[in-house]
Structure 1
């Protein structure tokens, strides 16, 4: 179904009001949009040059040893020139069993020089275009993909619904407390390599159902890392303490935190392949940020407790995320068209945008001294900066975060700063080709690279054509 048919901002605004989206507002004046998004933001005493962020968007295009590949470098060259002053460097595994696919970035002693090179390229390109890198922040996102690791899963606990959706056997072993404690040191080792490569900011990835995110919902897990909020935050808190002890204040510490898990969805053929939640028990005993009596709705009490703990442990900047792309992609990424084989939107995408803004706004207002990055803007297309400006102006967020949209339109920030608006011919249409490519594993490297075939046709047009042709050949056998 096509949802985005608005000819004017006023039409979109009227639809939002009709749907009851009280947290979705827009700044109409272009000069005000430019002025607001050009505002500097102070993070841990460091002045960031504007209020625009590129989210950590994985390209699945590293070499097989985790070294940034040619397309990885190209992507960050484009981001560096684009004008955003917060460029969140994508998920980089801290060890081999933490990679979500065969071409995910993985920093090692053998390839640390390649990370030094790509960071140097980012800084060189940005300085050449924007005059300085003193106000540029590039956090490296350290991760372990947990349940979604390739080729072997590492799970924090058994949630029967997520087990079903992810084809995880009920007897699959759960990582032990001792193994988790040893893994904390792997994060510290990864941080040491990041420092050697020149990074001055680190992110701990606690979202999208990966290992640290799954720990946040492990309410029924026994031992030191499950049950209470103090236990579920223990891993990240321990790592933060070890990083401060080893590196002092060298790193600006950031975190991308999944603040509302919801439940897994599947497509219902009887309803036109619309997404429906798997049947869930009540009260719902799992998950993070969920209402126990209605897990399709958020309850942020647990989240606020966790943020309080993380802020005390040294987090300087929080990137607010929700949902899991593996089991409820519409929650995190409201879309027009699902990737092939996935379910259709179970709600108007504006309601998904509203959920993002409602959650991020409540959290930012609750922690005014902790700058936060907002998510969920891409579906708004050319009107994304208008909504971002409204959120920033009202104190509902500090940074406008752009994800899929940046793959399609890496110089979006430049156009906002210079024109106060986006070019309708370049904005992401949320038709999910990038996600479809990310899910394709059927080539000699075990993974196709992900990008934007509609707006980066020269590079990703042939790639998606090859992926589809190989699928056709394999299906015909």
Structure 2
């Protein structure tokens, strides 16, 4: 039977929340109360990045909405989300959207896609975000606002034509994940001679981002997508697999080419710092509405292909290679901006975005979700100790809910991380950082994300993503009733 964990909202005081952390054996700094900017909050302190100023310590993670046009252009729904990013009060907008470098690399048929012949819609998106920031925080407020565009190829999880059909391109044949996406032979594996064209596509997308006016591009290497998968290509033959040099080669080549062709454009990397085996609901446990507890899909966790994991037990972290990669990107390519995450939303979501309510294709968490949050935060702390001269954005904060600002204030003050990133929370309460910095009652309007996972369940079932429970905009859409039926197992 699936375990039941206490809800974060059930802890009525900071002391009670801290006591729960202690009961789990977790060490995490928690401020007694978050401070406002007027009180000298560390969250309001600026960051320096290669001569540029990032105005505070709040960051918006890339928030793909499955809500573009099928030809790769933005819609009004997408423009609304980007304007909300601008109104958030965050001074670092990381990637905005997962931007497919070419149409066949899309994770869904409505993903924003590079269209070199038509860049004005992308320019309008960025202008709308900055305009909303100025309207919310003043005419000069965009001077310390840094906005990036996340460049991606979805690799194994490509669905460029239909929501229900994978058209996977993979780095190597995977012992577990092949069956999940229908890969049955080597035809889906990228050949070495195809990779120069892929590098060129990344460079072309980066040139467009620079022309449009983005401050940086993120070369996405996380969550099981193509660039992340290459990092675990232990069994891939040739110069793009096998040892550390080979497995990191494609990422380094892409970054090097962008640096060469776009010398004035900053580069960031969102990296899954560690991974674990794919999980599935425990067989025989749960039903159509409530899935079983997550268990590793493979009987053996030895020699499982996971980047940032121990070779003899892939359930355990080993940050040796991730740290070596970050140092190399810093030293050889001048990358000073990293956003650190973990795992994948497709095959082990409990380590990537801990949630009390799992998505429809997920499973009940095999651990208190707070354990997964602290695991990520502590991994970033370890990296920060070794790389004090780079800007690190942390992940896995939304699950802390009312206590998110207490944790954020403390970890930044203690030097565990430079910037606190928020993702799904931005869909329900996009002005929360601004309210915290103004010293307002940020919980009064009851918009705090409760990790219902509707923002994931909807796209998993072919619908647009959004916060259906808490954002009235989505409550009024026809997908609202359809989503209720999906969750009810109908």
Q: TM-score, normalised by structure 1?
A: 0.94
- Equivalent residues of 2:230, 2:241 under 8 A apart: yes
Residue aligned with 2:188, SS: coil
1:121 is the counterpart of 2:136? no
Q: TM-score, normalised by structure 2?
A: 0.91
1:253 is the counterpart of 2:267? yes
- Counterpart in 1 of 2:209? 194
Give the deviation of 1:304 after TM superposition: 0.7
- Equivalent residues of 1:385, 1:421 under 8 A apart: no
- Counterpart in 2 of 1:221? 236
Residue of structure 2 aligned with 1:144, choices 145, 148, 153: 153
- Equivalent residues of 1:219, 1:285 under 8 A apart: no
Residue of structure 2 aligned with 1:17, choices 22, 30, 35: 22
Larger deviation: 233-242 or 367-376?
A: 233-242
- Equivalent residues of 2:36, 2:438 under 8 A apart: no
Deviations 1:52-83 (A, max 9, x none): 00100111111111111111100111110121
Q: Distance in 2 between matches of 1:259 and 1:123?
A: 31
- Counterpart in 2 of 1:426? 447
Equivalent positions of 1:74-113 (< 5 A) are: 74-88=80-94, 89-113=96-120
Residue aligned with 2:97, SS: strand
Residue of structure 1 aligned with 2:49, choices 30, 40, 43: 43
Larger deviation: 32-41 or 191-200?
A: 32-41
1:359 is the counterpart of 2:379? yes
Give the deviation of 1:314 after TM superposition: 2.4
- Counterpart in 1 of 2:76? 70
Residue aligned with 2:207, SS: helix
Q: Distance in 2 between matches of 1:36 and 1:123?
A: 24
Equivalent positions of 1:7-406 (< 5 A) are: 7-22=12-27, 24-31=28-35, 35-88=41-94, 89-131=96-138, 132-151=141-160, 152-248=167-263, 250-272=264-286, 273-281=292-300, 283-312=302-331, 313-406=333-426
- Counterpart in 2 of 1:445? none
Give the deviation of 1:285 after TM superposition: 4.4
- Equivalent residues of 2:223, 2:345 under 8 A apart: yes
Give the deviation of 1:316 after TM superposition: 2.1
- Give the superposed CA RMSD: 2.0
Give the deviation of 1:420 after TM superposition: 6.5
1:3 is the counterpart of 2:6? yes
Structure 2, unpaired ranges of 5+: 161-166, 287-291
Q: Distance in 1 between matches of 2:99 and 2:428?
A: 22
Larger deviation: 409-418 or 307-316?
A: 307-316
Deviations 1:305-329 (A, max 9, x none): 1111111222120000101000011
Q: Distance in 2 between matches of 1:395 and 1:26?
A: 13
Structure 1, unpaired ranges of 5+: 442-447
- Equivalent residues of 1:67, 1:114 under 8 A apart: yes
Aligned length in residues: 467
- Counterpart in 2 of 1:456? 471
Q: Distance in 2 between matches of 1:91 and 1:205?
A: 8
- Equivalent residues of 1:3, 1:336 under 8 A apart: no
